[in-house]
Amino acid sequence: NPNPNPNPNPNPNPNPTLTHQVKMAGRPRALIVSTLRPGNLLGEISFLVGSSPTAEVLVDSDEALVIRLPEAEIMRTLDEYPLLAGKFNCFLATRQAAKLWKNMVTEKVTLALPEGVDAPRSVKAIAAHGAYLLILHKFIESLPKEERDGLRPLIELVHDIRHLSREPVLTHLKEAVRCIHTRYAVKSAQRSLPDEVRQRLPDMMSGMQTVEKEESTNKNRASAWRHVYDDAMAAALQEIDRRCLSKFISSTHYTYVLSLKAKERTFLSIGHLKISRLLGQGAFGQVVEVVKRDCGKRYAMKVMSKQIIADKYGEGWEDIVMLERSLMAKLNHPLLINLAYAFQNVSYLLLVMDLCPAGDLSDFGVHGAFRLSADQVKFVGMEVTTVLCYLHSNFIMFRDLKPANLLLDAYGHVRLIDFGVAKEGDPSTSTPPISTAEVGSRVYMAPEVRHVSSTHVPYGCVCD
């Protein structure tokens, strides 16, 4: 209690405060724990009589009265009354949690991003990134009930439309469109949207007719269905922006967005990964399953020995290895084994890629123990054709198509791997690749590749 003197200063401080601080080793200044007013509880165990003080107090008045309780008496009382001890400890824990929460919600975001990295400061930019959107959703769920109930249908609509835009199957797309209409647009809708957003949802009958008309004249039939709710998406994002963006940016939830953004400039090293198990052994090294320590995501990591590669290819080994790395870095497709990270140390080159836990199709190849059914052959053929068309559209000739280079992912889709003998044309001049080299696995080579040494006729992407 500041100013306990019965004859107080005629001009007392109208708002006396007491600063509770702790000296930290290695710091020139003490850490301020809290600022208190008269009558506030000063410390749970910091100033008990019979114990060593763990902090100090500064008062902005000439005098102050601090009431200290004897530690021995408190401990004897708590030992004698266990129920009281439980309630007392609960009180201390609750009070400490409240202090921590108060510090969190009042703390301003001060995380600095690396130079050249811009923080997302619009809901549109946040919604474009799946992880950022989930963090925003978490923030909305933490708001008071009235605000939360108004924003929840908006953020759920954004999630549903994002899912719609990524659906690859046409029949599933149409079903998703109908589900969104039922959930948000009809009068008995499960989710109540603001009028300005609901009005942007297309009428089901007229909307379906418009989309079906566009579908009939569009080669990409699914595209029209994916964009049915673009206007509603824009309106929902605008409404979220208006209602809570400023609060979100000043909240502790936004620090997670900044942390993720900052990690985009973090260079990966072997210390960021934990090796889980051996997946396979190759001519130049091993493929192992790894777990990224900061997020728990699993990858396949190709570890190649520089010495073995140099012994095999001689002085030009770096160009050969860099070709595979540069090609994988340029490409990204759902039916490829996509490159996530690439780095090196003194002895090894390391490529971190998508993990396919189901193995390859080598058991279904020539002299394999198993056979695919006709429907399975059609499925594999269509997916392989799709990914090869993607490569050819990027002026890349694969040249090593075989069952061992076709992996199965966790969803049963075929993934193409190994660009060791691929050849790139010149995208800047739209020049496709051609070659007169006999490369690949002989039993799976196209005739023009296998006999090129005798025919001397250049071949192109058709060999795939």
Instruction: Write down the residue that tokens 């084994």 correspond to.
Output: 337
Contact 268, 259 (CB under 8 A): no
Binding site, residues? 302
Number of residues in the chain: 464
How big is the CA angle at 19 (ends 14 and 23), to the nearest 5 degrees?
A: 165
Beta strand extents in 374-428 (DSSP E only): 396-397, 406-408, 414-416, 423-424
Where helices occur in 166-229 by DSSP H, the ranges are 170-180, 195-198, 204-217, 221-226
Strands 298-305 and 396-397: unpaired
Binding site for ATP, residues? 302
Strands 285-292 and 273-281: antiparallel
Separation of first and last alpha carbons in the chain: 85
Would you call 277 helix, strand, or coil by DSSP?
strand
**Alpha carbon separation from 451 to 400, 424, 436, 448 (Å, rounded):** 15, 21, 10, 6
Distance, CA of 33 to CA of 59 (rounded, Å) = 14
